[in-house]
């Protein structure tokens, strides 16, 4: 395809995307303002915007945001330390990889959200049941990626280092760790994302505080415009956190 046609096509695609999004927003506005869709089902976007401004200006979101972020942070720290440690230990021999990796992969394939009622029974409706669930779910990608990172270091690097007289510690510090790091960092990123999602999810289902809970609370109170505002807020926060984590990962990998 010639360069000019390519550029024109790209602009056309861009146009379709913008048109699509604008069309959706227009539909939304007209649907609520002009065609009279029930405000409780679909609030006027202008109202949603006002509610959002109010939420942000009044700082009402702070306590819920704090709860959610704290839960995510604690869960992530717990799953990181346990996941990387266990992953490293398992990766030390091919045999233990063959034994444990399928077990971990199998456990991860179960929808772990099912454990939430168990954790609620055990920890109550407070933050610890969310933290427990977040830790459990994000443990697996971190551990599995750590195993993949350390366990599948190209043999030639290990052989070469051995032939040059590397000690066990030198092998770890100068060969295994740098070789494994990119894969491990990806695992950490996935773990973070998954922890965030599962904590938001468990807040939605069974909680007394946090962003997910706030959305549910507003839904039950039929305060739909404000609920939409909080949904938008939560989506933006999630996107922001994911962008930060992804760029951190890429920055560390580029070395």
Partner 1 sequence: MSSQGRIEPVGVAAPRIQPAPGPRRSTMAALRRHPAIARLMVLAALFLLWELAARWWIDPDFLSPPSQVLASLGELFETQGVPAALQITLWELAVAFAISVVIGLAVGLTVGLSRFSNRSFMPIILLLYGTPQITILPLFILYFGIGSASKIAFGVSHGVFPIIVTIVAGVQNIKPILMTAAHSMGASRWQIFRWVIFPHMIPSFFAGMRLGMTGVLLGVLLAELYVSTAGIGYFTTLFTQNFDPTKLLGLVSVLAAMAIALNETVRRAEVYFGRWRTD
Partner 2 sequence: MTTSDVAIRIAEVSHEFGEPGDAFHVRALADTSLDIVRGELLCLIGPSGCGKSTLLNMIGGLLLPTAGSVEVGSQPVRAPLPREIAFVFQENALFPWCSVLENVKLGMTFQGVPKGEHEERARRSLEAVGLKDFMKHYPAQLSGGMRQRAALARALSLQTAILLMDEPFGALDEQTRMILGEDLSVLLSRSDKTIVFVTHSLGEAVFLADRVAVFSARPGTIKEIISVDEPHPRNPNFVTTEKFGRLRNTLYGLLHDEIRKAVEQSAMAGPLS
All residues at 6 or more sequence positions from 205 whose CB lies less than 8 Å from its CB, including other chains: 116, 212
CB of 77 to partner 1, least distance (A): 21
**Which of partner 2, partner 1, none does residue 196 bind to, with CB < 5 to 8 Å depending on kind?**
partner 1
- Taking the CA atoms of 156, 157, 162 and 163 in sequence, report the sign of the dihedral they define: positive
Q: Which two tokens stand for residue 178?
A: 């740098």
Say if residues 211 and 68 touch (Cβ distance below 8 Å): yes
Give the residue with the Cβ less far from partner 1, 35 or 95: 95
Between 113 and 181, name the residue whose CB sits nearer to partner 2.
181
* Ramachandran bin of 97, using left for φ above 0, alpha for ψ from -120 to 50, beta for the remaining angles: alpha
Nearer to partner 1, 180 or 255 (CB): 180
What is the size of the binding site for partner 1 (CB under 8 A)? 60
Distance separating alpha carbons of residues 143 and 199, to the nearest angstrom: 19
Tell me the closest approach of the beta carbon of residue 232 to partner 1, in angstroms.
Answer: 9
Q: Does 122 bind partner 1 (CB under 8 A)?
A: yes
The verdict on 127 binding partner 1 (CB under 8 A) reads no
Residue 42: CB minimum distance to partner 1, A: 9
What are the helix (H) ranges across 92-210? 94-109, 116-123, 127-151, 155-163, 168-170, 177-205
* Under rule CB under 8 A, residue 2 binds partner 1: no
The 10 Å CB-count burial string (b at 16+, else e) for 76-103 is bebbbeebbebbbebbeeeeebeebbee
Site for partner 2 in 133-172 (CB under 8 A): 156-157, 159-167, 170
Binding site for partner 2 (CB under 8 A): 156-157, 159-167, 170, 174-175, 178-179, 181, 255
Binding site for partner 1 (CB under 8 A): 9-10, 12-13, 16-17, 20-21, 40-41, 91-95, 98-100, 102-103, 106, 109-111, 113-118, 120-122, 158, 162, 166-168, 171, 176, 196-197, 200-201, 204-206, 211-212, 215-216, 219, 224, 227, 231, 234-235, 238-239, 242
């Amino acid at each position: 395809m010639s360069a000019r046609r390519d550029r024109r096509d790209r602009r056309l695609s861009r146009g379709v995307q913008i048109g699509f999004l604008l069309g959706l927003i227009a539909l939304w506005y007209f649907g609520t303002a002009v065609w009279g869709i029930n405000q409780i089902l679909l609030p006027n976007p202008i109202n949603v915007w006002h509610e959002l401004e109010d939420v942000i200006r009044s700082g009402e979101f702070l306590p819920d945001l704090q709860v959610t972020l704290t839960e995510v942070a604690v869960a992530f720290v717990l799953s990181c330390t346990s996941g990387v440690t266990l992953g490293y230990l398992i990766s030390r021999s091919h045999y233990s990889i063959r034994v444990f990796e399928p077990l971990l992969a199998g456990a991860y394939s179960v929808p772990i959200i099912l454990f939430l009622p168990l954790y609620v029974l055990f920890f109550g409706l407070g933050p610890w049941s969310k933290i427990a669930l977040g830790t459990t779910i994000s443990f697996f990608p971190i551990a599995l990626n750590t195993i993949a990172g350390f366990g599948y270091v190209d043999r030639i690097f290990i052989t070469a280092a051995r032939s040059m007289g590397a000690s066990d510690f030198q092998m770890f510090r100068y060969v295994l760790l740098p070789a494994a790091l990119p894969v491990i960092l990806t695992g950490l990123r996935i773990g973070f994302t998954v922890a965030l999602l599962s904590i938001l999810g468990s807040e939605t289902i069974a909680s007394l505080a946090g962003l997910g809970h706030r959305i549910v609370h507003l839904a039950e109170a039929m305060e739909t415009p404000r609920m939409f505002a909080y949904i938008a807020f939560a989506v933006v926060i999630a996107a922001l956190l994911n962008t930060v984590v992804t760029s951190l990962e890429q920055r560390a990998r580029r070395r």
